[in-house]
Amino acid sequence: MINQQYRECIEACLSCASICRQCAVSCLQEPDVQMLTTCIQANLECATICESAAAVMSLEGIFSEQICQFCAAACERCAEECEIHAQHGMEHCRICAEECRRCMNICIQMVSI
């Protein structure tokens, strides 16, 4: 059975992955998609890393701490990129940045336990 610290982090990672994918799709629907290519790439990379982290933690794998550190870094990068666009009124980027920061903090807490 998965311990509680992994469970919270797994749930945060899966939630973040979902929000990142939604943000990428929303970015693709914006009028100036070209301006958002870095954001879309960050969203998709973060989503993939978050899903991988959740999968490794669900196995209680020996690389759980390392992938959580990597996941926190990906979340931070994605949040920073989304925050740029959130300042220009893109609500989906604001929501994504908040979720990435939340996931990043939970991953950091999980690693420091």
Phi-psi region of 60 (alpha: psi -120 to 50; beta: other; left: phi over 0): left
DSSP type of residue 70: H
State residue 2's pLDDT score. 64
Structural domain boundaries, residue 40? 4-112
Domain count, the chain: 1
Residue found under tokens 């992994």: 6
Q: What is the DSSP letter of 30?
A: S
Q: What is the pLDDT of residue 113?
A: 63
Q: Are 50 and 107 spatial neighbours (Cβ–Cβ below 8 Å)?
A: no
pLDDT along the chain (113 residues), means of 10: 80 98 97 95 98 95 94 98 96 98 95 75
How high is the pLDDT of residue 1? 55
| CATH for 43 | 1.20.1270.360
The DSSP letter of residue 31 is S
Cβ neighbour number for residue 15 with a 10 Å cutoff:
16
